[in-house]
C-alpha cells in the first residue's frame, strides 16, 4: 500500500475533505515560504537603520552604556521592524485561511471558531501588539559591559575629542580625524559582532540565553503557521459524517 506523504491529502478521505486539506496545506506551504523570503529580504533595512542609529548615538556607546543603548535605540528599531515586516504577512495569511475555512465550513466541527485564526497565527514569543518579547531577552544577553566586543572607552583620546569644538582649527581638525576613526571603528565592530547575532535571532537558527535555546522570530512565525494549519485540519468532522 502506498504511503501518503504528510503534506498530501489522503484520497480515502473523500473528495471534499481531500480538497479542503490540500487547500490548507497549500496555504501553509505558501506562507512558510513567504515568511522566509520576506523576512530575509527585509533584514538589510534593519541593519541599515541600526548602523545609522549607532552613528547618531555615538556618545551613548562611547560612555559604554550598552543596556541604555539597547533599550532606547536598538529595541524600538527591532520591534518596529518586526511589526512592519510581519504584520502584512500575518494579515494576508489570516484573511486567506479564514476564507478557506468559511468556504468549507460544513467540513469543520460546529464548535470551531474561525475568528480564532488571527490569534493562532501569532508566534509564541509575541504579544498582540506585535512586540517580540523574546528579542528583549536576546538583547540583554549580547549587550555586555564590553559592548560590541571591544573596550571602546579605553582607546579614545577624550581630551582631544571633547575639546575639539572649543579650540583652534588645527586641534579641531585633529579631533575630527580622531572622531571619524572612532566612528569607523564602532561601526565595524557593530557590523562584525552585533549584526550577525541579531540576524540569527530574527531570521536565522535562533540564539541561546542562560543556556536555553530560543528559535528565531522567523522560525517562530513559521511554526505558528504550521500549528494553525494542523489545528484546523484536526477540527474536521469525521469523514463518515460527510
Residue 179 has what pLDDT?
67
Q: Is 151 left (phi over 0), alpha (psi -120 to 50) or beta?
A: beta
CA triple 65-193-127, angle to 5 deg: 70
- Cα atoms found within 13 Å of the Cα of residue 212, Cβ hemisphere only: 6
User: Per-residue pLDDT tens for 133-158?
Assistant: 556 666 665 554 445 555 444 444 54
- DSSP state, residue 165: G
User: Per-residue pLDDT tens for 35-94?
Assistant: 999 999 999 999 999 999 888 887 777 676 667 777 788 888 888 898 899 889 999 999
Give the global pTM. 0.75
User: Per-residue pLDDT tens for 161-205?
Assistant: 555 545 555 544 545 666 677 778 778 878 887 888 889 888 998
Secondary structure (3-state) at 192: helix
CA triple 198-128-106, angle to 5 deg: 120
Q: pLDDT higher for 51 or 212?
A: 51
Amino acid at each position: 500500500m502506498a504511503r501518503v506523504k504528510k503534506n498530501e491529502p489522503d484520497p480515502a478521505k473523500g473528495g471534499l475533505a481531500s480538497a479542503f486539506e490540500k487547500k490548507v496545506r497549500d496555504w501553509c506551504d505558501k506562507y512558510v515560504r513567504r515568511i522566509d523570503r520576506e523576512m530575509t529580504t527585509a533584514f538589510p533595512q534593519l541593519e541599515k537603520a541600526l548602523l545609522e542609529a549607532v552613528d547618531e548615538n555615538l556618545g551613548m556607546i562611547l560612555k559604554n552604556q550598552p543596556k541604555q543603548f539597547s533599550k532606547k535605540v536598538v529595541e524600538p528599531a527591532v520591534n518596529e521592524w518586526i511589526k512592519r515586516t510581519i504584520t502584512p504577512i500575518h494579515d494576508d495569511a489570516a484573511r486567506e485561511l479564514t476564507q478557506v475555512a468559511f468556504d468549507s465550513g460544513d467540513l469543520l466541527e460546529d464548535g470551531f471558531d474561525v475568528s480564532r485564526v488571527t490569534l493562532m497565527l501569532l508566534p509564541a514569543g509575541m504579544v498582540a501588539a506585535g512586540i517580540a518579547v523574546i528579542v528583549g531577552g536576546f538583547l540583554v544577553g549580547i549587550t555586555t559591559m564590553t559592548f560590541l566586543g571591544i573596550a571602546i572607552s579605553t582607546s579614545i583620546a577624550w581630551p582631544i575629542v571633547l575639546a575639539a569644538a572649543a579650540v583652534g582649527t588645527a586641534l579641531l581638525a585633529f579631533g575630527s580625524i580622531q572622531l571619524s576613526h572612532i566612528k569607523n571603528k564602532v561601526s565595524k565592530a557593530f557590523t562584525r559582532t552585533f549584526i550577525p547575532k541579531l540576524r540569527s535571532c530574527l531570521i536565522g537558527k535562533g540564539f541561546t540565553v542562560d543556556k536555553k535555546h530560543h528559535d528565531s522570530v522567523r522560525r517562530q512565525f513559521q511554526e505558528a503557521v504550521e500549528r494553525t494549519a494542523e489545528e484546523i485540519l484536526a477540527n474536521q468532522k469525521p469523514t463518515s459524517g460527510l
